[in-house]
């Protein structure tokens, strides 16, 4: 009982830390892919098929609240090869603006051999990143998808329960965003947002380090450290047609996560994921920053 109390206290502490920092996890979707999340195969007897349903709530930059959900299917084709598919939605609310839309489709193949894992996949958008309000383009903070087709690749290795994943995500296309902050009225809060017309987003490299701790028979806690490096400054085209770099958009975002996994039985499980930011980039024009976020997932195997 004492051990369980300590673990729950740590989870609440991480939640409080996240609120205190006020800005944090910023990635383009790949840190939540099945093969890049902390390994959970040992937390339940993994059947050949899994369906996962998840929902999250959080706060973003510029007084915006976000929430969304996802549906994921995992298929273990052979002992060493599996396929994953995931679809997402996203809603935003803030500054008297409310938006909702389909997000992305993630498709990936995974090869697993003993302690080694290799993943190759793609992110395919359901939106072009140019949602409008009264015929004016909205900033990226209100888009349900980055609007880019991305390549995703990762390699993972496990050493005595310590799990390492190195991942790379690179946009192959760019979106169609046409947001100019200066065309909004002077009293509009959108005047303070970064212009992202003809937005060109750089790629990211991610490293995840995680270690599972069994609390009781059906409960596991997994601390995880998650640095994400945005490779170069993003770019936009200003109202005069000149392409400019967004200074400070290159650099490191450093996050911590705590995963709580509870096995209801051998085929049903719940997972709570809470993030903790330590370091953020100076400029985050993609609208991905989350000051607070909590994700609850239910999975069933068959």
pLDDT of 148 strictly over 90:
yes
d(CA 201, CA 15): 30
The tens digit of pLDDT for each residue in 108-141 reads 999 999 899 999 999 999 999 999 999 999 999 9
> Is the CATH number 3.40.190 carried by domain 2-199+215-278+291-301?
no
DSSP letter, residue 38? P
pTM of the model: 0.88
pLDDT above 90 as % of the chain: 78
pLDDT of 100 strictly over 80:
yes
pLDDT band, very low/low/confident/very high, at 16 (cuts 50, 70, 90): very low
Task: Pick left, alpha or beta for residue 140 (phi over 0 → left; psi -120 to 50 → alpha; otherwise beta).
Answer: alpha
The tens digit of pLDDT for each residue in 153-167 reads 999 999 999 999 999
d(CA 261, CA 215): 10
**SS3 state at 225:** strand
Cβ-count burial 264-274 (b if 16+ within 10 Å, e if not): eeeeebebebb
Structure tokens at 93: 């609310």
Which residue, chain included where needed, has tokens 């803030």? 94
Average of per-residue pLDDT values in the chain: 89
Report the candidate in 77, 36, 24, 73 with the shortest Cα–Cα distance to residue 52.
Answer: 73
pLDDT above 70 as % of the chain: 88
Residue ranges per domain, the chain?
2-199+215-278+291-301
Structure tokens at 207: 């490293």
Q: What is the pLDDT of residue 19?
A: 34
Q: Residue 102 burial (CB < 10 Å; 0-12/13-18/19+)?
A: middle
Number of neighbouring beta carbons within 10 Å of residue 25? 25
Mean pLDDT to the nearest integer, 263-284: 92
Q: What is the pLDDT of residue 9?
A: 43
């Amino acid at each position: 009982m004492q051990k369980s109390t300590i673990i729950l206290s740590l989870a609440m502490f991480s939640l409080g830390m996240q609120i205190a920092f006020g800005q944090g996890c910023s990635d383009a979707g790949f840190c939540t892919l099945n093969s890049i999340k902390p390994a959970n195969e040992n937390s339940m007897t993994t059947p050949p098929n899994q369906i996962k349903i998840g929902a999250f709530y959080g706060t973003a930059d510029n007084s915006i609240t976000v929430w969304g959900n996802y549906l994921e299917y995992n298929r273990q084709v052979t002992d060493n090869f599996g396929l994953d598919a995931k679809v997402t939605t996203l809603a935003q609310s803030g500054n008297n603006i409310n938006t909702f839309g389909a997000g992305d489709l993630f498709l990936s193949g995974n090869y697993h051999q003993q302690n080694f894992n290799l993943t190759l996949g793609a992110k395919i958008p359901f939106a072009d990143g140019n949602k409008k309000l009264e015929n004016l383009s909205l900033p990226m903070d209100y888009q349900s998808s980055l609007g880019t087709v991305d390549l995703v690749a990762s390699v993972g290795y496990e050493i005595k329960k310590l799990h390492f994943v190195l991942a790379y995500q690179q946009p192959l296309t760019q979106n169609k965003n046409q947001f100019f902050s200066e065309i909004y009225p002077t009293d509009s809060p959108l005047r303070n947002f970064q212009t992202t017309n003809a937005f060109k987003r750089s790629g990211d490299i991610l490293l995840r380090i995680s270690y599972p701790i069994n609390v009781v028979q059906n409960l596991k806690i997994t601390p995880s450290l998650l640095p994400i490096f945005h490779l170069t400054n993003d770019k936009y085209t200003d109202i005069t047609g000149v392409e400019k770099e967004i200074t400070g958009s290159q650099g490191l975002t450093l996050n911590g996560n705590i995963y709580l996994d509870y096995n209801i039985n051998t085929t049903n499980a719940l997972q709570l994921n809470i993030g903790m930011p330590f370091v953020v980039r100076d400029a985050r024009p993609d609208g991905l920053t989350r000051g607070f976020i909590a994700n609850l997932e239910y999975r069933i195997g068959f």
